[in-house]
């Protein structure tokens, strides 16, 4: 039996190898004839070598496949590297999911479009195909993915006739939501006559019911489609969101969800009769976007400040009013409107003094320890 000490040379390497002497000796004991020189010719060794090569191949192959699996993910799906690069700042995005005929065009043009250049943000119209306000789940993903990563336009003010989209469901914080509501019958009347007589905004545009001069009273009397109380069901679904029950006319769950969303996700919801105060308060709570908004709005002439009004509106008769007020759909929309209005009034009353000016800051810091500097 050859021992390791016979071939011992006092080099650094052999000193290291020497430590493994017991291992080598153990190996010799199970395989006495082993010698590196003739090892290659031994079948046992070749089998061992074969197994070794086989496992090495699989190891490398699995590693390769694992890498491929991560690369194969299509560009739109989850990619850690892309997520790390983006810098979504919810406070730099406003979504105004405007309800039609609530004064939203006046507000958008006189505030968002006139101020965007001066205040350094982008205004973007979200055009919903065929005016379908409720986004499906695939579009929600695509919209949210885009809004949260489109840094070229940030800060951005998005506006469009779209029902509330909840970013938190996709793992993001919601941006700042704002909106405006209007008394539901006023809103429906405005819409009704707008379709017939148009407005002062897009004068040449022929509206879908142009030439039809039936009054709202006449329509209600004969139970026409345009004045159907189902047409009232609008502000609730805009605030309720994308759930199936939101568009279910008369759904109690929708009314409750709309209220919950208004409370939880909207920074401020104004109402048409208090447009000026809404702008004034917005300037105070989101100055980055709306600095100078009130002054600008007040400087506009009558026509621009009331940018858009329906050309002709005939007030409804007592009889019509009674019919409308007794309608459960109207009552629900009215309840939501009053709820939103009360929120605004309450907020307004708490920030203003008797003379109508804003209160000064009602808090301050003290007892900072250790002192700064
Ligand atoms: C939305 O897009 C459609 C199709 O491009 C267009 O016809 C329509 O005028 C747009 N809506 C608004 C309000 O600009
Ligand atoms: C967001 O969508 C717009 C319009 O389709 C596109 O031009 C832009 O590149 C998108 N941004 C991102 C970050 O995907
Ligand atoms: C509607 O207009 C037509 C002519 O354009 C007129 O003949 C008709 O009397 C009008 N109806 C009402 C209710 O004013």
Query: 337-355 b/e with 16+ CB inside 10 Å = b?
Result: bebbbebbeebbeeeeeee
On the question of pLDDT at 297 being above 90, the answer is yes
Catalytic residues: 159, 161
Residue 122 lies in a domain: yes
Residue 337 lies in a domain: yes
Q: What H or E segment, with its residue span, contains residue 122?
A: strand 122-125
| Whether the CB of 146 sits within 6 Å of ligand 2 | yes
Residue 327 lies in a domain: yes
Nearest CA to 177 among 247, 296, 260, 117?
Answer: 260
DSSP codes of every residue in 293-349: HHHHHHHS-HHHHT---BS--PPPPHHHHHHHHT-HHHHHHHHHHHHHHHHHHHHHH
Q: Do residues 202 and 325 touch, judged by C-beta distance below 8 A? A: no
CATH number for 180: 3.40.50.300
Residue 226 lies in a domain: yes
**How many Å apart are CA 203 and CA 103, to the nearest integer?**
17
Residue 4 lies in a domain: no
**How many Å apart are CA 118 and CA 113, to the nearest integer?**
10
- The average confidence (pLDDT) of the chain is 86
On the question of pLDDT at 73 being above 60, the answer is no
State residue 136 phi and psi, 5-degree precision.
Answer: -75, 170
Residue 220 lies in a domain: yes
On the question of pLDDT at 30 being above 80, the answer is no
Atom from ligand 2 closest to the CA of residue 151: 13
Per-residue pLDDT, 201: 64
| Whether the CB of 215 sits within 6 Å of ligand 2 | no
Task: Report percent pLDDT > 70 for the chain.
Answer: 81
On the question of pLDDT at 345 being above 60, the answer is yes
Per-residue pLDDT, 27: 66
| Whether the CB of 212 sits within 6 Å of ligand 2 | no
Averaged over 279-283, what is the pLDDT?
A: 96
Q: Which of 86, 146, 154 to mutate to test the pocket of ligand 2 (most atoms within 8 A of CB)?
A: 146
Summarised one tens digit per residue, pLDDT across range 232-276 is 999 999 999 999 999 999 999 999 999 999 999 999 999 999 999
Number of domains present in the structure of the chain = 1
- Residue 211 Cα to ligand 3 midpoint, Å, equals 9
Q: Which of 77, 150, 151 to mutate to test the pocket of ligand 2 (most atoms within 8 A of CB)?
A: 150
Q: Do residues 95 and 175 touch, judged by C-beta distance below 8 A? A: yes
Instruction: Specify the pTM.
Output: 0.76
Question: What domain range is 331 assigned to?
Answer: 90-350
Residue 41 lies in a domain: no
Residue 101 lies in a domain: yes
Per-residue pLDDT, 212: 82
| Whether the CB of 87 sits within 6 Å of ligand 2 | no
């Amino acid at each position: 039996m050859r021992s390791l000490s016979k071939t011992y040379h006092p080099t650094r390497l052999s000193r290291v190898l020497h430590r493994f002497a017991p291992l080598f000796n153990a190996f010799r004991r199970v395989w006495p004839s082993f010698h590196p020189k003739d090892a290659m010719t031994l079948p046992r060794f070749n089998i061992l070598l074969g197994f070794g090569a086989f496992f090495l191949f699989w190891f490398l192959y699995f590693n390769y496949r694992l890498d491929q699996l991560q690369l194969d993910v299509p560009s739109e799906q989850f990619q850690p590297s892309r997520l790390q690069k983006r810098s979504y700042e919810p406070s730099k995005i406003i979504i105004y999911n405007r309800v039609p005929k609530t004064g939203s065009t006046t507000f958008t043009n006189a505030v968002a479009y006139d101020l965007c250049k001066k205040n350094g943000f982008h205004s973007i119209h979200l055009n919903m195909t065929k005016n379908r306000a409720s986004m499906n789940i695939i579009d929600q993903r695509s919209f949210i993915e885009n809004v949260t990563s489109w840094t070229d336009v940030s800060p951005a003010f998005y506006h469009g006739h779209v029902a509330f989209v909840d970013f938190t469901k996709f793992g993001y914080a919601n941006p700042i939501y704002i909106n405006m509501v209007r008394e539901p019958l006023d809103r429906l009347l405005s819409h009704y006559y707008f379709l017939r007589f148009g407005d002062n905004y897009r004068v040449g545009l022929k509206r879908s019911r142009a030439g039809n001069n039936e009054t709202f009273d006449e329509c209600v009397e004969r139970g026409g489609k345009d004045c159907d109380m189902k047409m009232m069901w609008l502000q609730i679904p805009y605030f309720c969101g994308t759930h199936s029950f939101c568009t279910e006319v008369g759904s109690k769950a929708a009314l409750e969800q709309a209220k919950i969303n208004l409370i939880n996700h909207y920074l401020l919801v104004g109402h048409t009769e208090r447009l000026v105060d809404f702008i004034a308060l917005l300037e105070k709570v989101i100055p980055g976007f709306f600095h100078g908004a009130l002054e600008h709005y007040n400087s506009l002439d009558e026509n621009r400040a009331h940018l858009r009004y329906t050309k002709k509106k005939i007030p409804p008769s007592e009889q019509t009013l009674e019919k409308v007020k007794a309608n459960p759909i109207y009552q629900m929309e009215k309840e939501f409107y009053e709820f939103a209005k009360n929120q605004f009034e309450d907020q307004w009353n708490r920030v203003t003094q008797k003379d109508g000016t804003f209160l000064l800051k009602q808090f301050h810091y003290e007892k900072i320890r250790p002192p700064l500097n």
